[in-house]
Chain A
Amino acid sequence: MINEAGSWLIIGFPLASFVIIGAVIRPFFNRYAIVAGYLTILAVAISLGLSIFAFISVADAGGNIPFESREWLSFPGLVIPFGIMMDSLTVLMLITVAGVSLLVQVYGLGYMKGDKGYAKYFAFMSLFTASMLGLVLSRGVIQLYAFWELVGLSSYLLIGFWYTRPAAAAAAKKAFLMTRLGDFAFLLAILYIFTLGDDLLDIPHLYEAAQIGAIGATAATWAALGIFAGAVGKSAQFPLNTWLPDAMEGPTPVSALVHSATMVAAGVFLVGRFFPLFELSNEAMNTVALVGGFTAVFAASMGLVANDIKRVFAFSTISQLGYMFFAIGIGAYVAAFFHLFVHAWFKTLLFMSAGSVNHASGTFDMRYMGGLRKVMPFTYATTVIGGLSLAGIFPFAGFWSKDEIFAHAAEVDSPVGWIVLILGLTAAFMTAFYMFRVIFMTYHGKFRGGVDKENEDLRAAGEEIDEAHATARVHLAESPWTMVMPLLILAVAAVLAGYLTNPTAGYGIVDQHSFGEFMTENHQVFETHEAAVHAGAEPKFNYGIAFLSTLVALSGIALAYAMYQAKLISPANLTARFKPVHRILINKYYMDELYEDIIVRNIFYNRFAKRLASFDITILDGVNVQLASWTRRFSGVLGFIQDGQLQTYGAVASAGAVVAIVIFLFWA
Chain B
Amino acid sequence: MFSGYLTIAVFLPIATALLIALMPRRDQWIRWTAIGATVVELVLTITIFIRYEIDKGGVQFVDLFGNWIPIEGFDARYLLGVDGLSAPLVLLTGILGAAAAFASWRIKHRVREYFIWLLILQSSVMGVFVSLDLLLFFIFWEIELIPMFMLISGWGTGRPRYSAMKFVIFTLAGSAFMLVAILALFMSGQIGTFAMVSIPEEGIVGIPEKMALATGLIAPTALIFAFFLIAFAVKLPVWPVHSWLPDAHTDAPTAVSVMLAGVLLKMGGYGLIRISAGFFMESPDFQIRDAGWILAIGAAISIVYGAVLTLRQTDLKRLIAYSSVSHMGFVMLGVAAVSATGSKTASGGLNGAALQMFTHGTITGLLFLLVGMTYERAHTRHIPDMGGLAPKMPLIATAFLVAGLASLGLPGLSGFAAEITVFLGTWDVWPIATGISAFGVVLAAAYILWMVQRVFFGPRPERFDDAEDATIVDLIPVVGLIAPIVIVGIWPAVITDTFEIGIKATLGL
Task: Report the Cα distance A620→B421, complex, angstroms.
Answer: 32
Question: Are B405 and A153 in contact, with the CB atoms below 8 A?
Answer: yes
Contacting residues of chain A (146-202) with chain B, CB-CB under 8 angstroms: 146-147, 149-150, 153, 156, 160, 163-166, 169-170, 172-173, 176-177, 180-181, 184, 187-188, 191-192, 194-195, 198
Tell me if A595 counts as interface (CB < 8 A to partner B): no
A148 to B500 alpha-carbon distance, docked (Å): 28
Query: In the complex, are the beta carbons of B493 and A73 less than 8 A apart?
Result: yes
What's the Cα separation between A164 and B446 when bound, in Å?
A: 19
Please give, as numbers and ranges, the residues of chain A lying within 8 Å of B155 by CB-CB distance.
Answer: none
Q: Tell me the nearest residue of chain B to A605, going by C-beta.
A: B311
Quick one: which of B332-368 are within 8 Å of A by CB? 343-348, 351
The residues of A that contact B240 with a CB separation of less than 8 Å are 620
A195 and B453: CB pair below 8 A? no
Q: How far is the CA of A114 from the CA of B204 in the complex (A)?
A: 71
B348 engages A170 (CB within 8 Å): no
The listed residue (A163, A169, A180) touching B442 by CB distance below 8 A is A180
Q: Is the CB of B421 within 8 A of A73?
A: yes
Q: Count residues of A near B (Cβ-Cβ below 8 Å).
A: 48
Q: Across the interface, do A609 and B445 meet the contact criterion of CB distance under 8 Å?
A: no
Which residues of chain B are near A605, meaning CB under 8 Å?
311-312
Does any Cβ of B come within 8 Å of A666's Cβ? no
The reply to whether B457 and A164 contact each other, CB–CB distance below 8 Å, is yes
A75's partner among B309, B347, B428, B431 (CB-CB below 8 A) is B347
- Closest chain B residue, CB of each to CB of A198: B344
Decide if B344 touches A78 in the complex (CB within 8 Å): yes
Residues of chain A within 8 A (CB-CB) of B424 are 78, 80, 191, 194
A156 to B509, CA, bound (A): 44
- B286 within 8 Å of A by Cβ? no
CB-based contact B453/A173 at 8 Å: yes
User: With contacts A76-B347, A163-B457, A177-B449 known, is A187 near B388, CB below 8 A?
Assistant: no
B412 x A150 contact (CB < 8 A) = yes
CB-contacts of B477-509 with A (<8 A): 491-493, 496, 500, 503-504, 509
One of A48-56, A409-417, A419-427, A610-618 at the interface: A610-618
Query: Which of A73, A180, A187, A608 has a CB less than 8 Å from the CB of B492?
Result: A73
Contact call A188/B438, Cβ cutoff below 8 A:
yes
A147 and B446 CA atoms in complex are apart in Å by: 20
1/0 contact string of B297-315 vs chain A (CB within 8 Å): 0000000010011011000
Least CB separation from B435: chain A residue = A188
Chain B residues near A73: list those with CB within 8 A. Answer: 417, 421, 492-493, 496
Inter-chain CA distance A145–B420, complex, in Å, is 10
The answer to whether the Cβ of B425 comes within 8 Å of any Cβ in the partner chain is yes
How many residues belonging to B are interface residues under a CB distance threshold of 8 Å? 57
Q: Is B145 an interface residue (CB 8 A)?
A: no
- The answer, yes or no, to whether A77 is at the interface (CB within 8 Å) is yes
Closest residue of A by beta carbon distance from B349: A78
Interface residues of A in 584-618 (CB under 8 A from B): 605, 608-610, 612-613, 616
Interface of B is mostly: helix
Q: Return B398 CB to nearest CB of chain A, in Å.
A: 9
Contacts of B441 in A (CB 8 A): 180, 184, 187
**Min CB–CB distance A130 → chain B (angstroms):** 11
Q: Say whether A628 faces chain B, with CB atoms less than 8 Å apart.
A: yes
| Contact in complex: A181, B442 (CB < 8 Å) | yes
Given A150-B410, A163-B458, A612-B305, decide whether A75 and B348 contact each other with a Cβ distance below 8 A.
yes
A624 at the interface (CB under 8 A from B): yes
Using known A-B contacts A164-B458, A173-B449, determine if residue A609 contacts B312 with beta carbons closer than 8 Å: yes
Cβ distance B486 to chain A, nearest Cβ, rounded Å: 11
Chain B positions within 8 Å of A195 at CB level: 427-428, 431
Kindly state whether residue A559 has any CB partner on chain B within 8 Å. no
Set of chain A residues within 8 Å of B453, measured between Cβ atoms: 169-170, 172-173
- 14 more A-B contacts (CB under 8 A) besides A177-B445, A612-B309? A74-B493, A78-B344, A78-B425, A145-B411, A150-B410, A163-B390, A163-B456, A163-B457, A164-B458, A169-B457, A172-B453, A180-B445, A609-B311, A613-B308
Interface residues of A (CB under 8 A from B): 72-78, 80, 142, 145-147, 149-150, 153, 156, 160, 163-166, 169-170, 172-173, 176-177, 180-181, 184, 187-188, 191-192, 194-195, 198, 605, 608-610, 612-613, 616, 620-621, 624, 628
Q: List 23 A-B contacts (CB under 8 A).
A: A72-B491, A73-B496, A76-B504, A76-B509, A77-B345, A78-B345, A145-B411, A147-B411, A163-B456, A164-B390, A166-B458, A172-B453, A173-B453, A177-B449, A188-B438, A191-B423, A195-B427, A609-B311, A612-B308, A612-B312, A616-B309, A624-B166, A624-B243
